[in-house]
Amino acid sequence: MGQSTDAILVFGVHVPDSEDLRYSELSFAAEGDEEFEDTICRLAGASDRSYTERNAIAEAHPLTVVSHCSGDYPMWIVGLRSTLLRASRGYPVDFSNLPEVNHFHVAALREFMTEHGIDGTPTWILCSDWN
């Protein structure tokens, strides 16, 4: 068993005071939310849907939540799904064509931030994750 270190680039915002919290402990996660897909489906009123339907709903949502730092001591970013890039150790990613930041998606991110009391300014964030 080895360690994998990933580089992550995403347009988003750090979730303040989220260091070392499990996803279910984040301010926007409700009881039973184990990952962001659960939260999105709950907010969309689709918690009772099949796995395939829930996955499609979450994939269509413009936001994602990214865990970084390490698996044992996570930190969190809410970002735009369309901008998320990962580079696993040994597999470089070409940044010559960065994803475009969709301003409608930024508006959805700002609305989510307001609804859930997340302060900050969305920006490009480069971080790492050690698992």
- Global confidence as pTM: 0.90
Q: How many domains, in total, are found in the chain? A: 1
Closest CA to 57 of 72, 40, 71: 40
What value does the mean pLDDT of the chain take? 91
Instruction: Please name the residue that has the structure tokens 């997340």.
Output: 118
Surface-to-core class of residue 83, CB atoms within 10 Å of its CB (0-12 exposed, 13-18 middle, 19+ buried):
buried
Domain range spanning residue 21?
A: 5-130
Report whether pLDDT(89) > 80: yes
* pLDDT tens by residue, 92-118: 888 888 889 999 999 999 999 999 999
Largest CA distance in the chain: 42
